[in-house]
């Protein structure tokens, strides 16, 4: 089955610095890669996603890159702010077809942005 490795498990940066979180996946059938942010005691919320036919996507201070050949994708947050502090999860999704749907999350990265 799919295995998603996420690194680092914790990341501490100074406000204004950039943060990068990396994930690798194993199932070549995975074709959609969302990133979720989960604040303490709250539900996960989608922050950005990328499809397998796209190499990079950007939304303001957040960007995601995908290297299908190497099976890895990364989240980039620029100009970090204290409110960016949360746990970030990457995920890999395999598509429809009978009962083939499967979403696999990474183990998460606790990002702390110090003022």
Partner 1 sequence: DAGVTQSPTHLIKTRGQHVTLRCSPISGHKSVSWYQQVLGQGPQFIFQYYEKEERGRGNFPDRFSARQFPNYSSELNVNALLLGDSALYLCASSLGGQNTDTQYFGPGTRLTVL
Q: Name the site residues for partner 1 (rule: CB under 8 A).
A: 1, 6, 31-32, 34, 42-46, 49, 51, 89, 91, 93-96, 99-108
Q: Is the separation of the CB atoms in 64 and 35 below 8 Å?
A: yes
Cβ-in-10-Å burial (0-12, 13-18, 19+) of 52 comes to middle
Three-state secondary structure call for residue 16: coil
- Give the single-character DSSP code of 45: E
Q: Smaller CB distance to partner 1: residue 19 or 89?
A: 89
Least distance from partner 1 to the Cβ atom of residue 16, Å: 28
Q: Smaller CB distance to partner 1: residue 48 or 113?
A: 48
Least distance from partner 1 to the Cβ atom of residue 99, Å: 6
Least distance from partner 1 to the Cβ atom of residue 34, Å: 8
Locate tokens 């696999």: which residue?
104
Q: Smaller CB distance to partner 1: residue 72 or 78?
A: 72
Strand partners, 17: none
């Amino acid at each position: 089955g799919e295995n998603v490795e996420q690194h680092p498990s914790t990341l501490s940066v100074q406000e204004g610095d950039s943060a990068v979180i990396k994930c690798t996946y194993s199932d070549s059938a995975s074709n959609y890669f969302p990133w979720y942010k989960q604040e303490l005691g709250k539900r996960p919320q989608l922050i950005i996603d990328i499809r397998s036919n796209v190499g990079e996507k950007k939304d303001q201070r957040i960007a995601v890159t995908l290297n299908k050949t190497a099976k890895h994708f990364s989240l980039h947050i620029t100009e970090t702010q204290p409110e960016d502090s949360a746990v970030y999860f990457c995920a890999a999704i395999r598509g429809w077809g009978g009962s083939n749907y499967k979403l696999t999350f990474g183990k998460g990265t606790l990002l702390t942005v110090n003022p």
